Structure 1
Amino acid sequence: MANRDELSTSAKHKLIQAAAREKNPLESLPFDSYKSNASEAFKLYCRTKGDMDDKTLKWAFKLAEQNVGPFYKQLKMGWKPKIKQSELNKNWARFLVALNEQKQPVAYTMFRFDMDDGDCVLYCYEIQISPEYRRKGLGKFMMQMLESCARHWKLEKIMLTVLNNNENSLKFFKTIGYVTDETSPDVLKQEEYQILSKSTLG
């Protein structure tokens, strides 16, 4: 069997295509629920953008606007609601959504399977949690689900982008094992964001 470093670009594309063909790429995982330390129960589901209802997509946008809009507004890039709405409505988008005991959405991640700088990756574009449900371990659990998904489909790593002024998010990701990716902008370039990643090999 070929070493991962020796896999051809064609072979890596096939790994991405295999994952992307699945309606629910997390279906094979042995867990779809989470119970917090406070014994709050959450149910999770994964859907393609095409299977998401408009109400939930609108909620997802509003939550992103509430959570990260203020950080974007502090930066030169600014907050661009139309661009964010467009991102959430991409045909390739996958959503992992957490429901509370009242079956209301309280958190989500948006992700896709992709090639990045020659690596086959799961790219997490969003992880947004309603303020009242933070610090309950839910975000960590959802990232663990994505990591398990990436391992199942034999992808090389998970990648994500974090704004430099969002210190809590940077601390969260580094606490759960994410490091600055080799593709992240050089510090001297003074970009307003950085790219983090976590290997899912081995």
Structure 2
Amino acid sequence: MESSTASERKKLNRREILEKKKAIDQLLKAASAQIDHLASLPSFRCFNRNGLCLRLESGCGDRLSHCTKQCIQNLLKANMEGPYGSEWAVEEKVKRREMVAPEARYIFVRRNANEVMMDSAPTPLLGFVQYRFTLEEEIPVLYLYELQLDSSVQGKGLGKFLMELVELIAQENRMGAVVLTVQKSNSLAMKFYISKLRYVVSSISPSRVDPLAGVKKNYEILCKTFDHEAKVILEAC
């Protein structure tokens, strides 16, 4: 027969688990409820380096204009059709659904308003970040769905700047990690995340979960963790 002490310990453990789950749910809701994640990071509203004069603005998946949707689709096609190859036709449909999801959050990169006034051209979308706040192995994370830049602004430090911003947003909202997916065939992206930004292949990536089956998958899941629990679970060997 179970002792009263053991029974009380089990009840306490269950209570702690439920309280932890409730706290994480509230954390994710609070992070997702914010409309403008740049509000607390004003120094990231502009990018003025290496001959670029750009402005950043926030957005939500269910509030995109028709023009912005078209720009997103064009950037995705230009950058990702090559790495996906024959799978792009199917993947493009998936990305279009992800694009307008209510939980999708955006950082848009556009030319500075002064530049637009000078040449009287419409303000183009030169890049964007799409992310969500979600759970991975019971760890609250910022999952980076997309980081896409127009070829005219690549190689000038903008990608690193945007990733620094993403990591700050994750930490400000008490996420345990930033998690993202990269196509194996996209060698430049792999090098950027792993060599330059120190991301690692996560324990939830197919190649780590089942190396034999993972060989057949065309992507890896990478992560950068910010606390011990996330590191143990998402980076574990």
Structure 2 partner of 1:52: 64
1:200 paired to 2:226: yes
* Ranges in structure 2 where 5+ consecutive residues have no aligned partner: 1-16, 117-122, 229-237
For 1:178, which of 186, 199, 202 is the aligned residue?
199
Shift of 1:57: 1.2
8 Å contact kept, 1:114–1:121: yes
Structure 1 partner of 2:94: 83
Shift of 1:147: 0.6
8 Å contact kept, 1:147–1:200: no
Structure 2 partner of 1:138: 158
1:201–1:27 CA distance, 2 compared to 1 (3 A): farther
Shift of 1:78: 4.3
Structure 1 partner of 2:3: none
Structure 2 partner of 1:3: none
1:188 paired to 2:219: no
The sequence identity of aligned pairs, in percent, is 26
**Alpha-carbon distance in 1 for matches of 2:88, 2:162:** 28
8 Å contact kept, 1:43–1:99: yes
Residue identity opposite 1:11 in structure 2? A
Structure 1 partner of 2:132: 112
Shift of 1:12: 1.4
8 Å contact kept, 1:41–1:100: yes
**Alpha-carbon distance in 2 for matches of 1:173, 1:127:** 11
**Alpha-carbon distance in 1 for matches of 2:83, 2:50:** 29
Other structure's SS at 1:13 match: helix
Residue identity opposite 1:151 in structure 2? Q
Equivalences for residues 62-81 of structure 1 within 5 A = 62-73=74-85, 77-80=87-90, 81=92
**Alpha-carbon distance in 1 for matches of 2:35, 2:224:** 25
Other structure's SS at 1:182 match: coil
8 Å contact kept, 2:64–2:100: no
Other structure's SS at 2:102 match: coil
Structure 1 partner of 2:47: 34
Structure 2 partner of 1:161: 181
Other structure's SS at 1:23 match: coil
Other structure's SS at 1:8 match: helix
More helix by percentage: 2
Using the size of structure 1 for normalisation, the TM-score is 0.90
Other structure's SS at 1:79 match: helix
**Alpha-carbon distance in 2 for matches of 1:72, 1:79:** 9
Say which structure, 1 or 2, has more relative contact order (CA 8 Å, 6+ apart). Answer: 1
**Alpha-carbon distance in 2 for matches of 1:122, 1:14:** 15
Q: Which runs of 4+ in 1 moved over 3 A?
A: none
Structure 1 partner of 2:103: 92
Residue identity opposite 1:179 in structure 2? V
Deviations 1:68-97 (A, max 9, x none): 1121115xx443222221111112111111
Larger radius of gyration: 2
Cα RMSD, aligned residues only:
1.7
8 Å contact kept, 2:178–2:225: yes
Shift of 1:159: 0.5
Using the size of structure 2 for normalisation, the TM-score is 0.77
